[in-house]
Amino acid sequence: MDYSLLVKKRKKSNDNFANYTKFMKRGLLKTFEIPSSILLNYLLHLEHHYRDNPYHNQVHAADVTQSVNVLISSPALQNVFSELEVLASIFAGAIHDVDHPGFTNHYLINTNSELAIMYNDESVLEQHHLAVAFKLLQDSNCNFIVSLNKKQRQLFRKLTIEMVLATDMSKHMSILADLKTMVEAKKVAGSSVLTLDKTDRIQVMQTMIHLADLSNPTKPIDLYSIWVKNIMEEYWRQGDRERDLGIDISPMCDRNNITIAKSQVGFIDFIVHPLFETWADLVNPHAQYILDQLEFNREWYQTRIPEEQEKHDVIMIEENDANVESTTIFQSSQQQSSPNEISNLKQFDSTKETKE
């Protein structure tokens, strides 16, 4: 199963079809009596609610959905999840960033935005994505889960909420800690077969969508580098806005002071690799190919750090020289009197002498 989606020259209709195909191939339409026309209508409306951001857009959502679909298909997880849990997982991937404004939670909170006020500074974006997605389901022409009974709908909603909230990066360390605990429990049990209760399954589902959301560094390098370009452009736009507002520029958001290769190596070392390495321990050995690609990509960026740093240093020196030159010119202009000032001074002295 293909773990990656192409990000060049994609049409939104391709992403709708890709998501629809996931529901269909897994037999979810038949299992839950999902009307295909209503599902397609929902996906179409969902597409319209994704904005044309450089990174947080419909293509990213489709890529995350595809990654969730692959992760949940791991042989180690075969027969672990119920059909409803699979349905919620695919759905959560598709909606997890809908109506993303292209700014981070930190920015929205720091600028006292309407969304931050509405959600009390708590997982602002994630709560908004959920609200938009479930609001769409209230339209009878989009309610593809119409055949689910009340208990199923409640569980579907609960699972989706749990998963999308797990994409808040502030939850990363707790998700990683829970995953490590699960791996240790598996080792103690001495079994290669995963035995998960309801709580464990929800934790694994949360981990999967978090993994999928952070999976760019595990994709082929040509795709990964495109994702990096896109996310950096989105960050820089935020930084430009912060600069215009006169507030502190968020980390990674200053287009005038960033080393991309170094930041990606750090991102892999401290965030992505520990998470995927622990995941690989859980589903061993079925995630080794992901780790291999991740390590290749890290090395690819690592080799580019010296050249990038050299270019960065040159730019900083040039900017510093320009600032020094501007300061010197300004100081010189302050010290030298203009012809008009000299003329006025002479007239003042002449008047003074006449009076005396």
Determine if residue 288 is labeled as part of a ligand binding site: no
On whether 57 is known to bind a ligand per the annotation, the reply is yes
86 is known to lie in a ligand binding site:
no
Q: Is 16 annotated as a binding residue?
A: no
Is 240 part of any known ligand binding site? Answer: no
Of the residues 45, 56, 100, 210, only one is catalytic, namely 56
60 is in an annotated binding site: yes
Q: 19: annotated binding-site residue? A: no
Q: Which two tokens stand for residue 282?
A: 């859980």
336 is in an annotated binding site: no
Instruction: Based on the residue annotation, tell me whether 56 is a catalytic residue of this protein.
Output: yes
Please indicate if the annotation marks 97 as binding a ligand: yes
- Residues comprising the binding site for AMP? 56-60, 97, 213, 264
Indicate the annotated binding residues for Zn(2+). Answer: 60, 96-97, 213
Q: Which residues are annotated as a binding site?
A: 56-60, 96-97, 213, 264
Active site residue ranges: 56
